[in-house]
Amino acid sequence: VFEDCCLAYHYPIGWAVLRRAWTYRIQEVSGSCNLPAAIFYLPKRHRKVCGNPKSREVQRAMKLLDARNKVFAKLRHNTQTFQGL
């Protein structure tokens, strides 16, 4: 069974690339995925970039995406509440 996982890290990952990511997920070591990684999803051409989760740039990008998604979730909730009135 083929799993959708990173087999190697992309080096170097530019900050401009990480900033354009719309979400990410953490890949744990299991089965055929034997590398811990942060997988960033880019909207352009549905590309994925694999980063080392211990890298400072990758951790910074994950924090940025967490904060951005938290704001967007709050905005979505407020818009849905307003439309429901």
Token output for 27 = 């890949």
Residue 41 lies in a domain: yes
| Model confidence pLDDT, tens digit, residues 13-65 | 888 888 888 899 999 998 888 899 999 998 888 889 999 999 998 999 999 99
The residue segments making up the domain with residue 76 are 15-84
Q: pLDDT at position 69, please? A: 84
Answer for the pair 53, 29: CB distance below 8 angstroms, yes or no. Answer: no
CATH classification of the domain holding 78: 2.40.50.40
Q: pLDDT at position 1, please? A: 38
DSSP line for 34-73: -S-EEEEEETGGGEEEEE-TTSHHHHHHHHHHHHHHHHHH
Could you count the other beta carbons within 10 Å of the beta carbon of residue 66? 12
Q: Which residues, at least 6 apart from 5, have a Cβ–Cβ distance to it below 8 Å? A: 27, 32, 33, 35, 37
Residue 67 lies in a domain: yes
Residue 72 lies in a domain: yes
